[in-house]
Amino acid sequence: MNEYGIVYENVDLKKYTTLGVGGITKYLIEVTSENNLVSLIKYLKDNKIKYFILGNGSNVILDDSYFDGVIIRVNKLNKIEVNDDLVTASCGVKLGFLNNIALQHGLVSLYFASLIPGEVGASVMGNAGCYNHSLMEYVQSVKVLTNEGNIINISKSEIDYGYRYTSLKGNIILSVTFKLEKGDPLETLKLIKENNDKRMVSQPLDTKNVGSIFKNPEGFSAGKLIDDLGLKGYHINDAYVSEKHANFILNKGNATYLDMLNLINYIKLKVFEHYKISLEVEPKIISWSNL
């Protein structure tokens, strides 16, 4: 499999997730080109080998049992092309870096995304966002590898999307073209700093976590619902509900996949018992047996 990229064997996936939870994978491959990614996926499917594409590892809770398959990383697919107000970014580009390049060209729309720790592919797939903005607002088209192995361009008008959702699931995003607005980069940098300072105060960014655990139910704040039940600080082994923000679960040591799932399910149960609201998990929960 070396022809597809850089191959590592028996890799501990804890190091590749912001939550610090994960098991050993038989292979991890960093693909080195879009063509290599497409060829590798075909090879794995033809040979019935399980695989999972891992972006920046910032929005996943990974199974920590042994994975007898291939983890694919796309971080080396990081091309950015700017053409007036259109910016095309490969799936492995980090959002913070994308925003920096856009600002250098006087394009300010993605200021909110500079604080999201994900990569373009996975982030657009889940319509990531914050500060009342989401990525799909600025998407013009998406280039994907379909489940059938075809490479096609999908325009925004063909994509259903909403809060932390797009209809792109089932495809692999290869690149995204954004249509951005011009503005004052210096004013935008000030706004980013203000937002970042607020985040440092209100969110536990110094501890291993996966961002918001639950989507906000319509009309409610998931964090407030959990906080009002007195669950801040509640823990199962090393998996803790953050004292700073109740919609964050922290790994304060060696929390396991099961610890995380058990704590998530406990919170969901308590919220449903008290409010009759079913919380929906925001990060992807990945079980190897379901791939």
- Asked if 60 contacts 260 with a C-beta cutoff of 8 angstroms, the reply is no
Query: How far is residue 101's CA from residue 106's CA, in Å, rounded to a whole number?
Result: 9
**Pick from 58, 55, 100, 64: nearest CA to 82:** 100
Catalytic residue among 30, 34, 119, 282: 282
Shortest CA distance to 149 belongs to which of 171, 122, 177, 120? 171
CA 188 to chain centre: 24
Residue with structure tokens 């394009």? Answer: 107
Q: Is 287 a catalytic residue?
A: no
DSSP strands (E only) in the chain? 5-12, 24-31, 51-54, 60-62, 67-73, 80-83, 86-90, 129-130, 133-134, 139-145, 151-155, 161-162, 165-166, 172-179, 235-236, 239-241, 249-251, 284-286
| Residue tagged active-site, from 65, 212, 218, 243 | 212
Can you read off the two tokens belonging to residue 16? 């590749």
Q: How many CB atoms lie within 10 A of CB 102?
A: 27
Residues facing residue 153 across a β-bridge: 143
Return the DSSP state at 215.
Answer: P
C-alpha distance from residue 156 to each of 89, 143, 175, 179, 182 (Å)? 15, 11, 13, 11, 20
Q: Which of 164, 202, 278, 287 is catalytic?
A: 164
State which amino acid sits at residue 187: E
DSSP H helices, 47-202, are 95-104, 120-125, 185-202
Is 164 a known active-site residue?
yes
Residue at token pair 């398959």: 69
Q: Indicate if 134 belongs to the active site.
A: no
Q: Which residues are catalytic?
A: 164, 212, 282
